[in-house]
Amino acid sequence: MNTTPPHPADHPSEEDERLGLTALLPPPPVPGLDPDRALLLRRTLLADAAPADASGRRGARATRPRRRLLVRLAVPAVACALVVGGVMVVKLAETPGRATTAVPGGGTTHASEATRLLDRIALAAADSEQPTVRADQFVYIESRVAYAGQSAGGGPATMPPVHKRQVWLSADGSRPGTLREAGGPDTPLGTDGPVETLDGPGATPRPSTLNASQPSIGNPTHAYVAALPTDPDTLMELIRDETRGEGQDPDQRAFTAIGELLAETWAPPEVGAALYRAAAKIPGVTVVDAADDATGREGVAVARTAHGEQTQWIFDRTTYAFLGERTVLAEAGDAGPAGTVMGTSAVLTRAAVDRAGELPAR
């Protein structure tokens, strides 16, 4: 008779049976983040992704990104922003941007870097805050701008001093607005009012009208922009369709149209995010590591080069807030060497007011 005691493996222990039964149970649920924690995590990721400065340090963690205004203006290297009642006011030193800036290779050659940067900018835009603009109000935009001029006979372009620009645009396009430029009289803006349109740096102004037709990508009202699609593919299809025939390069047409919407309107956060994600789909978009706006604020730029000029959208390195635009020569010519600034702007204030000519509360 076999008297060998049974091996321990023949009889599972109580612990083994417990573990076996536990394995049959579904995994415990993982609690989701509450909205405040999710927002904090997103801000942390944005701050950690901020480009390093010359010393290798990354920007300080950003607070909720701040909105800037419709107009083009330049701001100083050190700026203090105050947000009150939905109005963003930037205090700046009146220091114009550099006259020339090198354009090494037209920007970073890796399109994936531009895509990653625009995605971070879109996330920041989606997290920004904006008060509701009523249909009977006006969108007020204050900026600093300067555009180079060239004599009829050619020769180097001349950049005038940066000047103040204020514009009041009817939110639904139903009432006349006002354009106020430093050193000149107020200009009424409306369906019947004359407007001098500048097609590009150095171009001769031509008479036109504001909102003479239905709102569109090239002639938007605030109500129109607020109703734009928030799906980037659908939005890009609309932009390409409405800018068809406006030049020979459809990609540059789309890039220019998006830039105008970013600089000259007050897009709701979700629409602003969609515009940046749509821009990431345009071939040839690059990154310029350092660019100054009209007042000297230095940031990182998203750029595209076409027809001998490079258009740059400049953003704060930490908050990814839109600072302004700049156009520089991408190659030497009669107007000057490569890097010559042909146009510069800095957006300082975007706000909703009740009447044309009214200033927002500070």
Query: What's the average model confidence in pLDDT over 241-263?
Result: 91
Distance CA 238, CA 271 (A): 13
| pLDDT band per the 50, 70, 90 thresholds, residue 264 | confident
Say if residue 277's pLDDT is above 50: yes
For 179, list phi and psi in degrees, rounded to 5.
-115, 130
Sign of the C-alpha dihedral computed for residues 130, 135, 229 and 225 taken in this order:
negative
Amino acid at site 331: E
Alpha helix positions (H), the chain = 14-23, 35-48, 111-126, 222-226, 232-242, 250-264, 269-279
Length reported for the chain: 362
Distance CA 158, CA 283 (A): 32
For the stretch 147-171, pLDDT in tens is: 999 888 888 999 999 999 999 999 9
Query: What does the pLDDT read at residue 155?
Result: 85
Distance CA 18, CA 21 (A): 5
Query: What does the pLDDT read at residue 214?
Result: 84
Say if residue 350's pLDDT is above 90: yes
Say if residue 178's pLDDT is above 70: yes
Say if residue 224's pLDDT is above 50: yes
Q: Hey, which of 47-56, 95-104, 296-305 has the most confident mean pLDDT?
A: 296-305
For the stretch 296-318, pLDDT in tens is: 999 999 999 999 999 999 999 99
Instruction: Report yes or no: 328 and 311 within 8 Å, Cβ to Cβ.
Output: no
For 223, list phi and psi in degrees, rounded to 5.
-60, -40
Query: What does the pLDDT read at residue 362?
Result: 75
Query: What's the average model confidence in pLDDT over 188-196?
Result: 61
Query: What does the pLDDT read at residue 153?
Result: 81
Amino acid at site 277: R
Residue 107 has a CB neighbour count (10 Å cut-off) of 24
The region of weakest confidence among 2-6, 94-98, 104-108, 234-238 is 94-98
| pLDDT band per the 50, 70, 90 thresholds, residue 18 | low
Distance CA 310, CA 327 (A): 6
Q: Tell me what the pLDDT averaged over the chain comes to.
A: 76
Query: What does the pLDDT read at residue 71?
Result: 29
Query: What's the average model confidence in pLDDT over 121-129?
Result: 96
E-assigned strand segments in the chain: 80-84, 87-91, 138-147, 163-170, 177-181, 187-189, 194-197, 206-209, 286-292, 298-306, 309-315, 322-329, 341-353
This prediction has a pTM of 0.68
Bigger pLDDT: 112 vs 274 = 274
Bigger pLDDT: 220 vs 25 = 220
Query: What's the average model confidence in pLDDT over 247-264?
Result: 91
Token pair recorded at residue 4: 């060998």
Query: What's the average model confidence in pLDDT over 201-215?
Result: 62
Distance CA 167, CA 348 (A): 12
